[in-house]
Structure 1
Amino acid sequence: MKKRDLSIIKDLERFRVMSRDNIADLYFKHTKHPYSSANSVLKRLVRDGQIEVSHHHSPYVYFPAGSTMKKNSTKIPHYLTLVDIYVKLQPKTFELEPKFKKGLAEPDIYTVIKGKPFFIEVQRNVYAQKVMDKKIKRYEALYFHYDKLPYVLMITEKKYEINSDIVNVIQVSSIDEFLTKIESGK
């Protein structure tokens, strides 16, 4: 098996699920026809039992072999958003769902962007303000526990009222919006 194929499998294990487009962007961008090349390799890996595929999505989504995630899980779009963030940033530091003591914040991602540490929260659902306030309190508890806190980048369609002198939250609707903001210096 090629090193690239092993890397695809390793990324599927890390991210839980990836779309054909994610895989093409990461591994086949240098080819003349990235999507066709990705399709060919992914079809072979599925045929050989190295990975699994779901036809419930377009483009198809892929899982590591033996995945326990349902092929039509409602969590798939959330995980695909995490992969999309990785594809767009391609940072040196990228930790999925870092774990802290029980009761503290549970960010989706820890990464470093332009030399600054960030926790990234992907909010696909709309939460009541009370729920969001509790989430911010968990971030404040994390600060008091570790005496340091990265910026919190919250990707959400709904803008929440954040009342904290401790937690620095940046709310955007997409990673593209955030990247545009930092490119323009805002």
Structure 2
Amino acid sequence: MYDVEVKLGSKSTVEPDAFMIFNNTPFFVEVQLTHYSKSIMNEKLKRYEAYFHSYEWVSLQWQPEQPFFPYIVIFSEHHYEIDTFLQVILFKSANDLMINSALGG
């Protein structure tokens, strides 16, 4: 499953560039082609945290019987210091994700 520019609520809520299920695991995908400042990246993550606390994600059609919040994967050439309780994974490219997945990482 792959969906581009998923709308999960109003303009002030989470707006991932894509949503995908890869190897039975859900991901919100962020593609950062430009370098975001730390404050802008933190603001983006705060919207994900607010969405998590809203529990709106529990009723999405793809959720299994035991719902869980998707990983957030960020594709960027820039390394970001991530400060959140959510599970965020950084990759430089989709190729890096595929290699990591193939190696069981």
Give your verdict on TM over 0.5. yes
Greater helix share, 1 or 2?
1
Amino-acid identity (%): 31
Q: Of 154, 171, 177, which aligns to 2:90?
A: 171
For residue 113 of structure 1, what is the aligned residue in structure 2? Answer: 22
Question: What count of residue pairs does the alignment treat as equivalent?
Answer: 93
Q: Is the 8 A contact 1:119 1:152 kept in 2?
A: yes
SS in 2 for 1:104: coil
More contact order relative to length (CA 8 Å, sep ≥ 6): 2
1:149, CA displacement in angstroms?
Answer: 2.2
CA distance in 1, matches of 2:13, 2:53: 10
Q: Is the 8 A contact 1:142 1:149 kept in 2?
A: no
1:130, CA displacement in angstroms?
Answer: 0.4
What amino acid is aligned across from residue 95 of structure 2 in structure 1?
D
1:100, CA displacement in angstroms?
Answer: 1.7
Q: Deviations over 1:11-39 (max 9, x none)?
A: xxxxxxxxxxxxxxxxxxxxxxxxxxxxx
Q: Of 34, 38, 41, which aligns to 1:132?
A: 41
For residue 62 of structure 2, what is the aligned residue in structure 1? Answer: none
Q: Which has the larger radius of gyration?
A: 1
1:105, CA displacement in angstroms?
Answer: 1.2
Structure 2 gap segments, 5+ residues each:
59-67
Give the TM-score of the pair, scaled to structure 2. Answer: 0.84
Q: Deviations over 1:40-99 (max 9, x none)?
A: xxxxxxxxxxxxxxxxxxxxxxxxxxxxxxxxxxxxxxxxxxxxxxxxxxxxx1111110
1:110, CA displacement in angstroms?
Answer: 0.7
Q: Of 7, 11, 21, which aligns to 1:99?
A: 7
Structure 1 gap segments, 5+ residues each:
1-92
Give the root-mean-square deviation of aligned CA atoms. 1.1
Give the TM-score of the pair, scaled to structure 1. Answer: 0.48
For residue 155 of structure 1, what is the aligned residue in structure 2? Answer: 75
SS in 2 for 1:185: coil
